Amino acid sequence: LVSREAKEEDSLVTVGQTVIGGSELVVCAGPCAVESREQLLAAARLVKQAGARVLRGGAFKPRTSPYSFQGLEEKGLQLMAEAAAETGLATVTEVVDAYSLEVAVQYVDILQVGARNMQNFRLLQMAGRAGKPVLLKRGLSATIEEWLMAAEYIVSEGNEKVILCERGIRTFENATRNTLDLSAVPLVKNLSHLPVIVDPSHATGDRRLVAPMARAAVAAGADGLIVEVHPDPARALCDGQQSLNPAQFAAMMQELRAVAAAV
């Protein structure tokens, strides 16, 4: 169902006024994790001001260590809804299990299935039945075929609104957090009609590399980006080292306009 053979024309995923997969480059931005009302509203205002369309914010965080900040859960999702109401931004948040999905559908527009759950097939089926667009990240070590099969699990439940997200894969290289597989963008756009976006934040793990890789992703044909932005990255409870500060995000958005106009 997700292949180009099944459907020749590009699929568009519409969220409110925003169309992902069409002519407009759609940028999703916000903090890795929702930390407080003050932090989230500041982030929402600044990303909106710079031209983002979708606010990201994790409330159920899949952390490597059980001692790391795990997220504000439902309280965080209430803050996402409040930030959306104030700014008009659409929202995306990660779901990790049946409970978080059940809560998230009440508050956000797009459900994110993260890299660690890309082959959680029961979760994919539940996301497929939830009736909301799903942002499906590529697994840490997933092949393109495995990733597209994961999308097939969602679409086969009757939900065509899937956005694929390349977020870097595990390789021998440890100078960056992951290795951004940019070739996945044109390849997957050839193999599938689904929109493809890129996450340069998790792909690199280093804020200095985020804007250059964002520009490269757009040049390679990505339909959008998902970028971590924090009002004060030094104080972030999660992924501060890869989060852009407000000025860096605004500068990146400005540069992207020139690249988008050229492709």
Nearer to Mn ion, 137 or 189 (CB): 137
How far is Cα 60 from Cα 94, in angstroms, rounded to an integer?
7
Smallest distance from the beta carbon of 162 to ligand PEP, in angstroms? 15
Smallest distance from the beta carbon of 201 to ligand PEP, in angstroms? 8
Binding residues for ligand PEP, rule: CB under 6 A, are 32, 58, 62, 94, 114-116, 137, 167, 199, 202
Q: Which does 139 bind (CB under 5 to 8 A by kind): ligand PEP, Mn ion, none?
A: none
Nearer to ligand PEP, 51 or 62 (CB): 62
Identify the CA nearest to 216 among candidates 170, 262, 150. Answer: 262
- DSSP of 7-49, one letter per residue? --SPP-EEETTEEESSSSPEEEEE-SB---HHHHHHHHHHHHH
Nearer to Mn ion, 23 or 65 (CB): 65
How far is Cα 179 from Cα 158, in angstroms, rounded to an integer?
33
Smallest distance from the beta carbon of 91 to Mn ion, in angstroms? 16
Q: Which does 181 bind (CB under 5 to 8 A by kind): ligand PEP, Mn ion, none?
A: none
Smallest distance from the beta carbon of 138 to ligand PEP, in angstroms? 8
Identify the CA nearest to 260 among candidates 211, 214, 219, 201. Answer: 219
Nearer to ligand PEP, 22 or 205 (CB): 205
Identify the CA nearest to 19 among candidates 163, 221, 124. Answer: 163
How far is Cα 31 from Cα 25, in angstroms, rounded to an integer?
20
